[in-house]
C-alpha cells in the first residue's frame, strides 16, 4: 500500500484518547438510558407520574456519568490537560454574556413556535407527566442542567478543545459536528439538521471565549424552553 505508517504519534495521543472515550462514553450512556428492561423496573415500582420523573432523572444521571465525568477523568489523568483547558472556567465572561443574551433571546422566541409541532410534542418533555407542579419543574430543570453541563463538557469541552489544540479550528469543528449531528439522528430530521448551525455556533463561541459557558447556558435555555413551551402547547398537560 501507500507506505503504511502505524507508529504512535504522541502529539495525537490526547485527541485519539478523547475521540475514543467520547464514542464509548456516549454508546454506554445510550444503551443504559434506552434499555427497555431498566425502564420497566421504574414503572413496576412507582405510579406513572413518579416513574416518569425517576426514570428520566436516571437517564440524565447516566449521561452525567458516562458522557461528562468518565471521559473527563480519562483525559485529565492521561494528559497535561486541566479542567480549565477544556473550557470549565469563566474566562471572557463579558463576551460570553453577549453571546448568551443574543442566542438566548433568539431561542426563546423561535422555540415557542417550533415547539408546537406534533413530533416535538410527542417527544418533549421527556417526563410524560400530565400535571406539572413546582416540584416536577425543579427536578426536571436540575436534571437537564446536570446533563447539559456534562454533555457540553464532553462535546465542546473535551472533544472540541483537545481537537482544536491538536488539529486546528476547522478539522476540530468537522469532527465535532460529525459526532454531534450523529447523536441527534435518533431524535429525528429537525433536530439533526438544527444540530449543524447550532453546533457550529457553540464551537465558535467556545473557541472564541475559551469557556463552555455559552454552550452550557444556551443549550440549557434551548432544552428548558422547549420542555416548558411543550407543556403549554400540549392539551394533555397542564401547570398546576
Task: Grade residue 233 by pLDDT with cuts at 50, 70 and 90.
Answer: very high
- What is the tens place of the pLDDT at every residue in 43-65? 999 999 999 999 999 999 999 99
Report the Cα–Cα distance between both ends of the chain, in Å, rounded: 68
- Residue 4 reports pLDDT greater than 90: no
Q: What is the pLDDT of residue 32?
A: 97
Q: What is the pLDDT of residue 5?
A: 85
- Residue 1 reports pLDDT greater than 80: no
In percent, the amount of the chain with pLDDT more than 70 equals 100
Range 2-13 average pLDDT: 88
Q: What is the pLDDT of residue 163?
A: 98
Q: What is the pLDDT of residue 139?
A: 98
Q: What is the pLDDT of residue 7?
A: 87
- Nearest by Cα to 155 from 203, 226, 213: 203
Euclidean distance between CA atoms 99 and 25, whole angstroms: 29
| pTM for this predicted structure | 0.95
127 phi and psi, to 5 degrees?
-75, 110
Task: Grade residue 202 by pLDDT with cuts at 50, 70 and 90.
Answer: very high
Range 197-221 average pLDDT: 98
Cis peptide before 220 (omega within 30 of 0): no
Residue 30: Cβ within 10 Å count: 17
Range 200-219 average pLDDT: 98
Q: Quickly tell me which residue has 459557558 as its cell.
A: 213
Range 71-79 average pLDDT: 97
- What is the tens place of the pLDDT at every residue in 129-167? 999 999 999 999 999 999 999 999 999 999 999 999 999
Q: What is the pLDDT of residue 3?
A: 81
Chain mean pLDDT for the chain: 96
Q: How many CA atoms lie within 13 A of 229 on its CB side?
A: 19
Amino acid at each position: 500500500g501507500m507506505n503504511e505508517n502505524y507508529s504512535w504519534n504522541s502529539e495525537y495521543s490526547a485527541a485519539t484518547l478523547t475521540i475514543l472515550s467520547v464514542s464509548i462514553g456516549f454508546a454506554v450512556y445510550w444503551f443504559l438510558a434506552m434499555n427497555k428492561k431498566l425502564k420497566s423496573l421504574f414503572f413496576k415500582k412507582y405510579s406513572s407520574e413518579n416513574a416518569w420523573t425517576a426514570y428520566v432523572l436516571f437517564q440524565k444521571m447516566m449521561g452525567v456519568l458516562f458522557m461528562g465525568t468518565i471521559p473527563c477523568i480519562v483525559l485529565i489523568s492521561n494528559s497535561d490537560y486541566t479542567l480549565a483547558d477544556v473550557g470549565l472556567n469563566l474566562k471572557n465572561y463579558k463576551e460570553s454574556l453577549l453571546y448568551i443574551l443574543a442566542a438566548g433571546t433568539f431561542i426563546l422566541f423561535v422555540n415557542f413556535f417550533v415547539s408546537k409541532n406534533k413530533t416535538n410534542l410527542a417527544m418533549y418533555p421527556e417526563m410524560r407527566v400530565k400535571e406539572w407542579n413546582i416540584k416536577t419543574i425543579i427536578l426536571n430543570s436540575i436534571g437537564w442542567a446536570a446533563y447539559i453541563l456534562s454533555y457540553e463538557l464532553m462535546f465542546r469541552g473535551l472533544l472540541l478543545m483537545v481537537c482544536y489544540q491538536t488539529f486546528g479550528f476547522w478539522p476540530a469543528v468537522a469532527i465535532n459536528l460529525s459526532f454531534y449531528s450523529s447523536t441527534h439522528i435518533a431524535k429525528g430530521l429537525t433536530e439533526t439538521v438544527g444540530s449543524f448551525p447550532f453546533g457550529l455556533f457553540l464551537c465558535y463561541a467556545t473557541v472564541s471565549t475559551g469557556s463552555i459557558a455559552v454552550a452550557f447556558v444556551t443549550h440549557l435555555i434551548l432544552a428548558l424552553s422547549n420542555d416548558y413551551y411543550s407543556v403549554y402547547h400540549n392539551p394533555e398537560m397542564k401547570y398546576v
